[in-house]
Amino acid sequence: MPPAAREVLALLACLAAGLAASQDFPLRYGQAPSAYKSVYSLPIAVAQRQGFFRANGVDFRTVVPLDGGADRMVAGLHDGTFDLMHIATTFLVRANLAGSDVVAIAAEFGNPIYSLIARADVSRIEALKGRTVGLADPGGSITYSMRKLFARHGLGESDLQVKTIEGTPSRLGCLRRGECDAVPLGQPQDMLAVAEGFRLLGRSSDVVPPYVYTVTAARRSWAAANSDAVVRYVRALAAAQHAIADPNMRPAIAATLAEATDVPLAIAESVLRLYAQPGPRVIPAQAEIDPQGIRQVIAFMSEAGQLKGPMPDAARFIDLRYLQAAGIR
């Protein structure tokens, strides 16, 4: 090929690359500080490190507010701080019923595993009577599942000294400082605590049916106006979840989890082994939202007294058009 022709082709390639980059959709994704260094950041971390966002034409940017909490995160959707957000389904339902047009457009985690971790001298759940337990938001599914676990062992919340502590890292800190006798922890902090000598007393998955724990949410109006960007995001998230489930990808996923959560590789590998065990799927296969899993969340909230009157229809809280447009059912 003549040098001039090669130069023309090189120029065209550069122009094509520049055009592709200019067509990338910028997406700002809100993640609470409590989730940022936990396993709940894994699908997003995988999508970033494996290039799934780039492959789908998404210029992805994670935004972590200095102060988190569900109300702050939902406010961030309304004031333009971010476009999409990670949120527990219970808090999405609460925000929607309060007047926000926030809806779930993809599932990030279903059927979570929260471990009740205690001081080494607490050998069984019954021994927590009268002692200090750090729980999450009273209206959230973590606390609901812990109440179920305590009830199985004959304890009501009035039998405990309860402290409300948001986020697994903060609850682990309470346990380490000796200010809590037991706390529910997600991964990988629960396994890290056991490695440090704390005791595993039980898990949330022992007492609650399958449900949808965390979702990617957007304002319904914003998503409708930016549907192409949302579909591209959904495809990237689905690709990441597929990679997490692929045994051939296990070493790379474990390395990503270790890096994202600042834990040893052996702990990250243990988390993935836990998720691979038979039983309800912890991470969706491809970002699919199970309406029955949303109904179960609503039932949790109703039973806990967080909802009054007839239970709302699950369809109010989800918008499946973007999953369908991405070829996901």
Q: Which pLDDT score is estimated for 321?
A: 98
Q: Which pLDDT score is estimated for 67?
A: 72
Alpha-carbon span 135 to 243, nearest angstrom: 32
Same fold yes or no, 24-110+211-325 and 115-206: yes
Q: Which pLDDT score is estimated for 66?
A: 67
Q: Which CATH superfamily is domain 24-110+211-325 in?
A: Periplasmic binding protein-like II (3.40.190.10)
Q: Which CATH architecture has domain 115-206?
A: 3-Layer(aba) Sandwich (3.40)
Does residue 7 carry a pLDDT above 70? no
Residue 107's identity, in one-letter code, is: A
pLDDT in tens, 128-176: 999 999 999 888 889 999 999 999 999 998 999 999 998 898 999 999 9
pTM over 0.75: yes
Does residue 9 carry a pLDDT above 80? no
Q: Are strands 58-63 and 25-30 parallel, antiparallel or unpaired?
A: parallel
pLDDT in tens, 210-222: 999 999 999 999 9
Short-list 111, 69, 72, CA closest to 205: 111
Greater model confidence, 70 or 217: 217
Q: At which residue do the structure tokens 């969706």 appear?
A: 284
Does residue 230 carry a pLDDT above 90? yes
What mean pLDDT is predicted for residues 58-85? 89
Does residue 108 carry a pLDDT above 80? yes
Q: Where are the domains of the chain?
A: 24-110+211-325, 115-206
